A and B are shown apart, each in its own frame.
Chain A
């Protein structure tokens, strides 16, 4: 029997997939659409940019919109590129108007080298956007105290990084992520950024995270569609493993076969 993890609810929307997927960097609109389908993702991230004279996007956005519409999914626009709370708040309002959703992935970058989110700018923007009626999904670090402040500001979802954006390094600090899970048991936690392998996603889910969000690990794979499928399996496996309850690690060997004494020793 094929068992899937239990559905969960985010801001009133029931989701059957715990795999959130980004839409950037795919080799073609067709590959993007096939990868979205293979992933089973219901939540798909999109962005905004300043208009310029070079014209359209060759059909990439249309592919995303079609795939999400067909699956009854949810768009999650981001505020990528913002360096201040003021910028991020303005861009969030534009995203709400353009995409017709009050969900926003809040990104306020604080360091150009690591693209580490700025905890102060993120908190300031989150506070305002919650007041403005947004469902805020803040991209944040794994720092517990700044995460708690975001919760205090009204964020029901937090998206801590596993590693810097696009680095593919996996979970650099599992202890911090485990701590977040333990200290914020009622908050929806999504590992966002830094995942490179399906095993990284499985590890995040085994830690009890509610979902993972990734982009480059799929779009930059040699075969994005197959990698999307691989991540989908890994997310399901990790979540099922978490729900099933892992055994407690033991410091020494513990025999598993219930033998009586030694098989060939007489007397």
Chain B
């Protein structure tokens, strides 16, 4: 995990600003992701779509998105 500057969070493999009041829904929208395309975990905990708008992010959070792939 890279060293994190104050007021940033980690989104997948890169750092992003984390302004006060940033929600998970707003973060995904800023990255061009619609909730139907990805599932999301914050600090290794699954956050369902129904909670994206009410999930406030904090500096230092680690947000990971998952997408559909082929599998065996």
Contacts and interface: CB of A to CB of B under 8 A. Distances in A.
Interface string A161-173: 0000110000000
A32 B70 contact: yes
Interface in A70-104: 77-78, 80, 90-91, 93-95, 97-99
A51 interface: yes
Contact count band on A: 20 to 34
Contact of A51 (B44, B67, B71, B72): B67
Contacts of A32: 70
Contacts of A80: 71-72
B39 A61 contact: no
A31 to B, nearest CB: 12
Contacts of B46: 90, 93-94
Q: Is the contact region of chain A dominated by helix, strand, or loop, or is it mixed?
A: mixed
Contacts of B38: 51, 98
A216 interface: yes
Interface in A11-32: 22-26, 32
Contact count band on B: 20 to 34
B64 interface: yes
Contact of A50 (B48, B66, B72): B66
A39 B71 CA distance: 16
B69 interface: yes
B72 A45 contact: yes
Interface stretch (A1-9, A52-60, A183-191, A241-249): A52-60
Interface of A: 22-26, 32, 45-53, 57, 60-61, 64, 77-78, 80, 90-91, 93-95, 97-99, 165-166, 215-216
Interface of B: 12-13, 38-41, 44-46, 48-49, 64-72
22 contacts: A23-B71, A24-B69, A24-B70, A24-B72, A46-B71, A47-B68, A47-B69, A47-B71, A48-B68, A49-B66, A49-B67, A50-B12, A51-B38, A53-B12, A93-B39, A94-B66, A97-B49, A98-B66, A98-B67, A99-B68, A165-B72, A215-B72
